[in-house]
Amino acid sequence: MPEQAMSPPSEVVLASDETAIDAHKELYHFSDESYRVVSAGLLETVGAFDGGMSRLHISSNWTDIIRLATWRSEPKAGDAFFLLRTMGISHAELLPFKDANIADLFPWLYYGKRFDILRKICLAAKTNAEKHIKGRDTRVHCHLSSVETSRIVASSL
């Protein structure tokens, strides 16, 4: 009996790392062939993506979601502050972070239960990814995963 060729997965998940894959698998249970770790060049990978499918999931850590939401390979703190200001965070709330790294903002939002802001950031990442993707008919779903909890903590869905 001849071997049948495996069909490509109907949905692909681009992930920052194994933790992001595990967090996504916990909720979605896609086959292993659907997952791709993108350790460098996430913006370029998304921009060049032409998978001919209707949905692309991006399961990423905080830094990569900020990259997508600002559409900058190396976003600066000012880029993140501008993004957060447009989402309802006041200037006064951001003052303690004026000399902080972008990574320092996630625990503040997460443990402060600012899930509305985390979701808005996922929506901004989704919007930018859909705007820059080659396959214009592809819908993107962005999921923010936490290294501490190994879970998705916010999503564009």
Residue 5 covered by a domain = no
Average pLDDT over residues 7-19: 81
Question: DSSP 3-state assignment of 91?
Answer: helix
Q: Write out pLDDT tens, residues 46-70.
A: 888 775 677 889 999 999 999 999 9
Q: Tell whether 2 is covered by a domain.
A: no
Asked if residue 99 has pLDDT above 90, the reply is no
Q: Domain total for the chain?
A: 1
In the predicted model, is pLDDT for residue 2 greater than 50? no
> Quick one: pLDDT at residue 129?
92
In degrees, rounded to 5, the angle at the alpha carbon of residue 48 between the alpha carbons of residues 46 and 50 is 95
At residue 134, does pLDDT exceed 50? Answer: yes
Q: Is residue 122 part of a domain?
A: yes
Could you tell me if residue 32 is inside a domain?
yes
This prediction's pTM: 0.88
Token pair of 11 as six digits: 């949905």
Q: Which domain holds residue 69?
A: 11-155
